[in-house]
Amino acid sequence: MILFEDIQRYIDKLNYLSKVEDEDVLKPMEEFAQKVGFPIVGRSVGRFLYIITKLKNPKLIVEVGSGYGYSAYWFAKAIGNGKVVLTDYNQDNLDKARNFLSKAGLIEKVEIRLGNGVEIAKDYKNIDILFFDHEKAKYLDSILMLKDNLNSGGIVIADNTLWHGKVLEEAPDRQTKKIKEFNEYMFSSPEFFTTLIPLRDGLIVAIKF
């Protein structure tokens, strides 16, 4: 448990007071997540990604782990003259992403690539925002492999860093241990200035110096 449920509900209610242009795309994406239990970041985190993107004004965003494009929607909606790279192992997810992002008129803002997101990310040398939402046990290795591909002043955003509160357990499982190591690395590394935002399942937001 992270946030008291009633607080989350209050924030969610506020989120839906805000008119967004693409409710006819977002609602089906959210309903599909609910129906099949797909772990999307949800409206609160999505809106936060939008704000971070507007502030950063990035040329290049790379997502490691895009699912069917829910986070990519918010990045692409906010990006000006730039590109969002989506990656996923699953062709069906990516087909859905292409479909949703087309409907939202955002397909020209994105590049959709099948395969290992970390390997794909290595192809890009000047990343402004790097988004992690892949296998949690791989976050630490992934940032070590990719940090030199981030521009100075670039942003790392990593989802699920509170891992349903499991980071508090006295005898955490291997995956949880690896997430804790990732968090500790991000906060103690002199290469990053890091915060952990308790939105939904916990979001690391860090700036590379």
Span near a second copy by CB under 8 A; candidates 33-41, 107-115, 131-139, 194-202:
194-202
Measured from the CB atom, the residue of 53 and 142 that comes closer to a second copy is: 53
Beta carbons of 48 and 199 less than 8 angstroms apart: yes
Written as six digits, the tokens of 141 are 């290795």
Q: Which of 103, 122, 187, 191 binds a second copy (CB under 8 A)?
A: 187
Instruction: Write out the DSSP string of 107-166.
Output: GGGEEEEES-HHHHHTT-S-EEEEEE-S-GGGHHHHHHHHGGGEEEEEEEEEE-SSGGGG
Q: Which of 21, 27, 28, 55 binds a second copy (CB under 8 A)?
A: 55
Dist. CA 57–CA 104, nearest whole Å: 20
Span near a second copy by CB under 8 A; candidates 14-22, 33-41, 85-93, 117-125:
14-22
- Least Å from the CB of residue 143 to a second copy: 15
Q: Which of 89, 144, 148, 168 binds a second copy (CB under 8 A)?
A: 168
Q: Which of 76, 101, 140, 162 binds a second copy (CB under 8 A)?
A: 162
7 binds a second copy (CB under 8 A): yes
The amino acid present at 1, given as its one-letter code, is M
167 binds a second copy (CB under 8 A): yes
17 binds a second copy (CB under 8 A): yes
List, edge to edge, every strand of the sheet that includes 83-88.
Answer: 110-114, 83-88, 60-64, 127-132, 150-159, 203-208, 192-197
Rg of the chain over Cα atoms, rounded to whole angstroms, equals 16
Residues that bind a second copy (CB under 8 A): 1-4, 6-7, 10-11, 14-15, 17-19, 44, 47-48, 50-52, 54-56, 153, 155, 162, 165, 167-168, 183-184, 187-188, 190, 193-199, 205, 207
